[in-house]
Structure 1
């Protein structure tokens, strides 16, 4: 709804929603899993600097749709190159068990958690 709203609103309001510093910080806090204060500061700094660095809000919506509408598992069997998969053990989106299932779909893949 967030990305759809930003695309549906008039351009100025849509950009304001997507670039809202409070929303970016809440997202950053929710995603950062480390308890290391220095690493958390770095993560928040990166989100503050780059999360809103886009020129077209339509592209942001398309990227979001692509990120939730498909994944590499649809293409894994057709990727013959040796592949290194890197997963996080505290990932809220994809559990580690799913990453092991994904690894099995590739002809030649290793998984590092």
Structure 2
């Protein structure tokens, strides 16, 4: 199954390369953990200072944020996947990464898990 992956820009210079989009092939029964690792590897922008924070969203429609599936941080070795063993449902063919600058990734993870807004 083809999955469309997009990410937000991290700076004005990065905007010149937008939209940051790619298509990848993954098995239909791919877990959320494998999906996040496959789509973020060598794709998310790094920033000076080494503390970029991202949230991965799964959706069945382009450019919509429906279901957060992971929080990623440039300083972490691996993403914090919310439901690592969960399988993608049919039709969930889009992954979008929102960029939250240098926000504390543990705070963002807590906000995602508790349903609080990511930004006050």
Larger RCO: 1 or 2 (CA < 8 Å, sep 6+):
2
More helix, by proportion: 1
- Structure whose CA Rg is larger: 1
More strand, by proportion: 2
Q: Same fold (TM over 0.5)?
A: no
TM-score bin, normalised by smaller chain = under 0.3
TM-score of the two chains, using structure 2 as the length reference: 0.25
